[in-house]
Amino acid sequence: MVLAGALAVSLAVAVSATVVVASTGSREGKADRDAVNAFASAHPPASVDNALERAAATRELPERLVQRLASPTLGGQLQVEGGTPRQQALVRAIAAGLPVGDLVSVGIAGPPGGFREAPELQEYGETWLTITAAEPAGDPHAGIRALWAVELLAGAFRDASFLEGMPAILGRTILYRRQDGSTERRGDGVIAVPRAQPFDPASSSVMEARVAARLAALEDVVSFRLSFPTPMNVAVVADLTLSSPEEFLDKHGNALFDATVGDASSLEGALVKLYDSGGKLVRASAYAPRTGMGFGWSEPGLRMPVTGRIPTTPPLHE
């Protein structure tokens, strides 16, 4: 049965695998043109929806950030260059809610060549952040937390600047300083998500109770450790030791954040690290909703559980 089904699919795919030369005079060509015309004329285009930003007009900085701004000595270990004293203070206040040592420096200046404001894409401003993360000693994959901190800082500073009426932040450059002192440029990008979305306002203690209850209900979780960076609202770092990473990912791999820390899109950020029973890191998944970026690392050979991968072994691969 499986064999027959596979053969049928094979034939269907094989039939479709043809080289097509442009033709416009055939019946098929007319049907194609009709289909395209119908699609193109069905509805008028809509403008970009910025309702979230409009709704944020009355929103304010979280109280924890207001209090940090009143303590100018916070975040003093972070090197901040450029910008106004108020912008520098805001950077330090946000960084004070991040793990010490993950970030080395922040530069506030104009965008690098090629980047420009594009309001029609919700990309505003002419101010750019250059943020340097530090590779931690030991496990090289632990650097994912530092790179995640770059995204948390960039997103929080962009949104806080919006709420405070400071110059709009167009994007960030991500630098990574290795233990040997060399620095890699990991990328430059604009941030194009609506500013100051209403993220979960729960306190760290409320969040801890909520996430702990969720993790305690997962049978494959042997133990867990939680921490809660607070660049603006509360982000979650969950280190899970699993009896069987393979089985865990088979059950929860395509909804890892939902299963472990809840709806990641409503959080300030989520970083989930999975360890086997011997304490070896097998996977790390990081997401920063304020910048829209997610990334991670997975041990070689570990099953890829997440939907949305784009395999490079497509059906017609030779």
Partner 1 sequence: MTHNQTHAAASVWRRIVLTAVLLLTLGAAPSAKAFPNFGGWYIDPNCCVVTGTRATIQSPPYNMQSNGWTNGQGIALMRVGLSKLSGDGAIAQIGFGTAQAQFDNCGTKSQNTIFIEWKPSYYPDDTPFYTCVWLTTFGATQTFHKYTVGRVAATCQSCFGFYVNGSLQFQPQELGFSSSERTFAAGEFSDKNPSLHAGGVAAGCYGCGSGEIRWERTSGLIGNNPSWTQVWQAYNWNGDGLWRVSSVAQPFLVCYPRGIAGCPAN
For residues 208-267, which are near partner 1 according to CB under 8 A?
250, 253-258, 263-265
Shortest distance (Å) from residue 26 CB to partner 1: 9
Q: Which of residues 43-62 bind partner 1 (CB under 8 A)?
A: 43-46, 48-49
Number of residues that bind partner 1 (CB under 8 A): 99
Would you say 216 or 255 has its CB closer to partner 1?
255
Asked if residue 296 lies in contact with residue 282, where contact means CB atoms within 8 angstroms, the answer is: no
Interface with partner 1 in residues 134-163 (CB under 8 A): 141
Return contacts of 92-95, CB within 8 angstroms, 24+ apart: 92/68, 93/65, 93/68, 93/69, 94/65, 94/68, 94/153, 94/156, 94/157, 94/160, 94/231, 94/232, 95/153, 95/231
Is residue 252 within a helix (H) or strand (E), and if so which, with residue range? Answer: helix 245-252
Site for partner 1, residues 270 to 289, rule: CB under 8 A: 285-287, 289
Give the residue, chosen from 54, 86, 178, 185, that forms a contact with partner 1 under the rule CB under 8 A: 185
Q: What sign does the dihedral 56-99-92-134 (CA atoms) show?
A: negative
Q: Does 71 bind partner 1 (CB under 8 A)?
A: no
| 87 Cα distance to chain centroid | 24
Query: Contacting partner 1 (CB under 8 A), which of 99, 136, 167, 292?
Result: 292
Smallest gap, in angstroms, from Cβ of residue 311 to partner 1? Answer: 6
> Beta strand pairing status for 169-177 and 127-134?
parallel
Which residues 6+ apart lie within 8 Å of 219 measured at CB? none
Is 31 near partner 1 (CB under 8 A)?
yes
C-beta of 19 vs 57, nearer to partner 1: 19
> Please, what is the minimum distance in Å from the beta carbon of residue 122 to partner 1?
5
Handedness of CA 6, 12, 16, 18 (dihedral sign): positive
CB of 123 to partner 1, least distance (A): 7
Asked whether position 5 contacts partner 1 by CB under 8 A, the answer is yes
Q: Which residues have C-beta within 8 Å of that of residue 54, sequence separation ≥ 6? A: none
CB nearer to partner 1: pick between 109 and 115: 115
| Stretch of residues binding partner 1 (CB under 8 A), selected from 35-43, 88-96, 127-135, 210-218 | 35-43
Q: What is the Cα–Cα distance from 72 to 93, expressed in whole angstroms?
A: 8
**302-318 in b/e burial notation, b at 16+ Cβ within 10 A?**
eeebbeeeeeeeeeeee
Half-sphere exposure of residue 167: CA atoms within 13 angstroms, side-chain side? 19
Residues 109-128 that bind partner 1 (CB under 8 A): 114-116, 118, 120-123
C-beta closer to partner 1: residue 88 or 162: 162
For partner 1, the closer of residues 231 and 305 by Cβ is 305
**Any contact of residue 96 with partner 1 (CB under 8 A)?**
no
**Nearer CB in complex with partner 1: 90/293:** 293
Rule CB under 8 A: is residue 194 a binding residue for partner 1? Answer: yes
Find the helix or strand (DSSP H, E) in which 184 lies. Answer: strand 183-190
For residue 123, the 8-state DSSP code is B
